[in-house]
Amino acid sequence: MNTSSSSSAVATKPPQTEKRRRIFRIVRIGLGVTLIGLAVYVLWWRQRNVVSRVGYLNGTIITLYATIPGTLTLKDLRPGERLSAGTEIGTIRNDRNPQLETDRQNLETRLNVALSQQRGLQQKRNSRMALISQLDRYQQSQQTLEVRFAQEAVQRTLGELRQAQEALAIARIEADRYTSLVETGAVARQLADEAVSRAKQAAKFVESKQAELRRQQTALQAARQGLQLDASRTFSFPQIRLIDLETELVDIDVELLAVATTIAELRREIANIKQQLSLQRLAPVKVPTTAVVWSVIHKTGDLGIPLTAGDPIVKILDCSDVWATGLVAERDNPRLRVGQEATVRLLDGSDRRLTGIVRAIRGGPGKVEVGENVAVPPPDLVRNELAVDVQLNNLPEDLSAERFCGVGQSVEVIFGS
């Protein structure tokens, strides 16, 4: 009974083994076909898209420098701390600046001298103005007297003219009377001739007085206008002094204008130096834009540390300018262009994909020093390789300031055809 059972089991064993072998063979063939298909798909996908060999997120680093020499007192900052634009993170104090202080004292001395000169010139001008006013009154009084004198001369000449006219009338009557008597033989011819001669002389005297009256009237008119016609023009003492004072007043006004210009310039220079002293004594250290603390170069504490102008203080990361840099083969250069769309895949296990566009393409070796103040310096590139920068359209919220906005994280950059 047992013998027959054993013979039956041995007889059925070879068919089961053969069946398992066939199943394993089919599985191996299917797995091989799957791997080959996957390899073909990967090759096709890589032929269709350009994929970076190495990729990483990068950002702009801003270094804050000391603007003046002095003692720096910095707040307690930690890397990864978010800072808003305009935040004051420290101060630099410099209570000693002998050169600016000396310049300020010299300028103030010059200003005091100029102000004293201005006051002296103003007093001189006021005294000259008072003297001009007094001499002007003298001149007006003199002109009034000259006009009155000319009026009296006109009146006197007018009276003399009337007397001469009356004498002329009497002389003519007498000449006519003697002439008529000569005709009747009552008097001698000589007496008649003498009477006619006296009438002619009286007529000439009247004409001279008329001419003198006209001259006196013209002189009166000239005196009323401040003119002189009797002889060559001569100036009185008040007039001479007025001319001299007016000329001197013009010179004083020119000097006053020059001194006022000097005073204004000195005041501007003093104001500028005071402003420089204020800035040189206390200079705040402010964050120019919203950023993240990348590294603190100097830990100052409460006592502070001395710095010179231009010394670096702190480095901050501008999270508003984060991009992805991918290194690709140079043979793919014809398939790349600025403005091309790209996909950035995060290699942190989340397989998240970010979108962006190509903003810069650099080719050839020697890309280690690119002249940029970046968080992650470019790696040593091999020949025939390109560095392509991709501007990201969005940044995940979890890439926060505490994580330095993801800068330095590895990514894979895929450029569509």
pLDDT score, position 5: 44
pLDDT score, position 122: 92
**Cβ contact 152:223 at 8 Å:** no
Confidence bin at 167 (pLDDT 50/70/90): confident
Between 389 and 146, whose confidence is greater? 389
Question: pLDDT digit string (tens) for 176-206?
Answer: 888 888 777 777 788 878 888 888 898 898 8
pLDDT score, position 4: 45
**317, 265, 272, 261: which is closest to 294 by C-alpha?**
317
Average pLDDT over residues 76-85: 88
- Mean pLDDT, the chain, as a whole number? 80
Query: Is the pLDDT at 102 greater than 80, yes or no?
Result: no
Average pLDDT over residues 246-255: 88
Confidence bin at 69 (pLDDT 50/70/90): confident
Query: Is the pLDDT at 9 greater than 50, yes or no?
Result: no
Q: Are strands 282-286 and 88-93 parallel, antiparallel or unpaired?
A: antiparallel
**Cβ contact 60:321 at 8 Å:** yes
Answering whether pTM is above 0.75, one says no
Torsion of CA 107, 109, 110, 116, to 10 degrees: 140
Confidence bin at 21 (pLDDT 50/70/90): confident
Q: What one-letter code names the amino acid at 7?
A: S
Confidence bin at 383 (pLDDT 50/70/90): low
Between 359 and 397, whose confidence is greater? 359
CA distance 228 to 2: 176
Percent of the chain with pLDDT over 90: 10
Query: Is the pLDDT at 145 greater than 70, yes or no?
Result: yes
Query: Is the pLDDT at 232 greater than 50, yes or no?
Result: no
pLDDT score, position 367: 47
Query: Is the pLDDT at 8 greater than 50, yes or no?
Result: no
Query: Is the pLDDT at 238 greater than 50, yes or no?
Result: yes
Question: pLDDT digit string (tens) for 347-380?
Answer: 888 888 898 999 988 875 544 444 456 666 666 5
CA distance 202 to 206: 6
pLDDT score, position 149: 84
Between 223 and 210, whose confidence is greater? 210
Which residues are within 8 A (CB) of 196 and not within 5 positions of it... i.e. 6 or more apart?
175, 178, 179
Of 79-83, 123-127, 150-154, 371-375, give the lowest mean pLDDT range.
Answer: 371-375
Tell me the Cα Rg of the chain.
Answer: 59
